[in-house]
Amino acid sequence: MAKILRSEIYLLRFPLDIRLPWGTEKYRNHILVKIRTTETEGVGEGTPFYTHAYNSHALGIKIAKTIQGQKLPDALEALSKIQERLVQNRIVDYGILLAFETAILDALSKASGFVMAKELGKIYRKKIPATGTVYLAPISEMVRFAKYWTSQGITHLKIKVTGNEDIDCKIVKQIREAVGPRIALRIDANQAYEKAEKAAKTLRKLEEHGIIIAEQPIRWRDWDGLRKLRKMTNIKIMVDESVWKPSDIDLIATKKVADVVNFHPPKFGCLSVTRKLIEKALDLGLEYVIGGAVMSGVGVSAYMHLVASLREIQYPSEEIGLFNIRGYDIIKKPIGLTRGCLKLPTAGGLGVELDNSAVKRYQLEFNPSEFRVLLTRMAYSSYSALPWWFKNRFRFPFNIVRQFIS
């Protein structure tokens, strides 16, 4: 059985330039993990969600030391123990765990000649239907983007909205007119309507244009508001920002605050953990979507193997990848769209080959003892050690600090 010789962790900075309600994201930091074993190599990607990538890197160094010299199945076991321990009381950027687990599963399935989805369970499908996201821009540009996605065979669009009733009605109306009645449309407000009453007023108008889901219309912890809103509209309510740890899935089902959950694997960690949580959500009567983090072909492929291994999919996946959104990638054969779907790579393991020169191009060089790296690590460990009631109440000041440091 193959043993891990060493792990390499890279921070990558991908230029993005996408507009969201709180501002423009010029770039996003991702983590790439390469694992070298006595037989094969594995690669995995993750994105930090709550803190800076420096913290993920620091945790990655610890994980690398723990699994060094271990057999691959033992390393998987060790990883799930690390995750179990961390989830007890800390906010963790699980993106690094996702990257490590993907890399180990890639190496493991390559060694046994399997497609990675098989390591996760069973292969239910090889075509993964995709969602096209329309980011905020002047309306004519948003319409152009929506039409571009549908010209690629996409039948499900997610439209970012602003929280301003007039603007949002205009955006949705014009996109609906441009794409026709058969395309499924949903909106993502990223909390921009803030309160249930304001959201309900706009949603009632958007119902006319056949919107099927409103994602995170109001504030993330406003459970009463979300529950009330569900009764005030025929549009299904999806939560995204409201979910930030695995136990939130139970809470959402018990409190009946949403119909659909957006599952971002880097928020939940390992693919196997995310998969179990999705199965649980289904058992609790919730619907789900796999969220997107604009990943490279490595992450896109990992998500595709996850989707391939799930018994039921209710909506197309959001993760469509940097290549389809921005036209570049770090793998040799980027995964393009074919009639609105991404085809599962079946070459064995994850099924992708890294383009090392592209990895170098986007690599973020940093010195672990630099002042701002130490500052973000200190802020992160102090904050994450605080009790949950505090973190639940004061989440955003921390995000602001994160933005400032990055």
CA nearest 306: which of 32, 123, 97, 104? 123
Minimal distance, residue 267 CB to Mg ion, in Å:
11
214 vs 230: CA distance, rounded Å: 10
Residue 319 interacting with Mg ion (CB under 5 A)? no
Nearer to Mg ion, 168 or 240 (CB): 240
Comparison of 45 and 188: residue with beta carbon closer to Mg ion:
188
CB 381 within 8 A of CB 343: no
Spatial separation of the C-alpha atoms in residues 307 and 316, rounded to whole Å: 10
Supply the minimum distance, in Å, between the C-beta of residue 215 and Mg ion: 5
**Shorter beta-carbon distance to Mg ion: residue 9 or 252:** 252
3-state secondary structure of 70: coil
Per the document, the length of the chain is 406
- Minimum distance from residue 292 beta carbon to Mg ion (Å): 9
- As a whole number of Å, the end-to-end CA separation of the chain is 41
Q: Which residue has the tokens 């709180």?
A: 22
Rounded to an integer, what distance in angstroms lies between the CA atom of residue 339 and that of residue 178? 19
Q: Which span sits near Mg ion by CB under 5 A: 45-53, 79-87, 134-142, 232-240?
A: 232-240
Q: Using CB under 5 A, which of the segments 94-102, 134-142, 238-246, 344-352 binds Mg ion?
A: 238-246
240 lines the binding site for Mg ion (CB under 5 A): yes
Name beta bridge partners: 157. 132, 185
Stretch binding Mg ion (CB under 5 A), from 29-37, 110-118, 156-164, 187-195: 187-195
Name the minimum Å distance from CB 366 to Mg ion: 28
- Choice between 154 and 187, CB closer to Mg ion: 187
Q: For residue 81, what are its two tokens?
A: 């123990």
Decide if residue 93 touches Mg ion (CB under 5 A): no
The piece of 106-114, 138-146, 180-188, 338-346 that touches Mg ion (CB under 5 A) is 180-188
Q: CB of residue 279 vs Mg ion: minimum separation in angstroms?
A: 22
Select 11 or 134, whichever has its Cβ closest to Mg ion: 134
Kindly tell me which of 70 and 242 has the beta carbon lying closer to Mg ion.
Answer: 242
Supply the minimum distance, in Å, between the C-beta of residue 244 and Mg ion: 12
Q: Which residue's CB atom is positioned nearest to Mg ion?
A: 240
Neighbours of 58 (CB within 10 A): 18
How many whole angstroms separate alpha carbon 282 and alpha carbon 289? 11
Q: Is 188 in the site for Mg ion (CB under 5 A)?
A: yes
> Within the chain, what is the greatest distance between any pair of CA atoms?
62
The 10 Å Cβ neighbour count of residue 8 is: 14
Report in angstroms how near the CB of residue 216 gets to Mg ion at its nearest: 6
Q: Which two tokens stand for residue 367?
A: 């010195």
Query: Under the rule (CB under 5 A), what is the footprint of Mg ion?
Result: 188, 240
